[in-house]
Amino acid sequence: MALSSARTGHDADSISRKDKQRQVARGGIVYYALAMFRLIRALIMLGVLGAVAYFVFAVPLGNKTLWQHLGAIAETEESHELVEGVKQKAGEVEKKAKKMLDQRGISDGGDAPPARDELTDDDKQQLRKLIRRKIQS
C-alpha cells in the first residue's frame, strides 16, 4: 500500500487523478497560497469599506458631509410625499391582491385554524397493527 493510500484508506489505483491533485493541493503550497489570497482579499475589501465609510461620514462636500446631505434630503416635504405615495400604492396593490385571491377562492390564512388530518378509528387501528409488526420484526 502506498503512503497516500495508507492515509486515506484507499488503494492507490482506486484514487482518481483529481483526488490526487486535491490531496497534493491540501497539504502543499497551493493550499496556503489560496488561504493567503483569501485573507488579502478580505483585508482589501475591509479597507475599501472603511474608505467608503470615511468618505460618507467625514469628508465635507460643501458645508455638510454626504450623510448630512442625505439626511437633509430625507427631511424635505417632497421626500415625505414620496413615502406617502408609495404607502398608498402599496395599499392599493394589497387590496387588489386580496380581491384576486378571494375571487379564486384562496384564503390568506389569517383567520383559518391550522389544518388537521382527521384519522378514522379504522385508520388508527391499522397504524397500531403496523407499528406492532415493525417492533416485533
Question: Residue 91 domain-assigned?
Answer: no
Query: Tens digit of pLDDT per residue, the chain (137 long)?
Result: 444 444 555 555 566 777 766 666 566 666 777 888 999 999 999 999 999 999 999 999 999 999 999 999 999 999 999 999 999 999 999 999 888 888 877 766 565 555 667 788 888 899 999 999 989 87
Q: Is the pTM of this model over 0.75?
A: no
Q: Answer yes or no: is 134 within a domain.
A: no
pLDDT at 1: 42
Half-sphere exposure of 46 (CA within 13 A, CB side): 6
Please compute Rg for the chain using Cα positions: 33
What pLDDT, on the 0 to 100 scale, is given for residue 102?
Answer: 81
Residues 108 and 98: beta-carbon distance below 8 Å: yes
Domain tally, the chain: 1
Q: Does 76 reside within a domain?
A: no
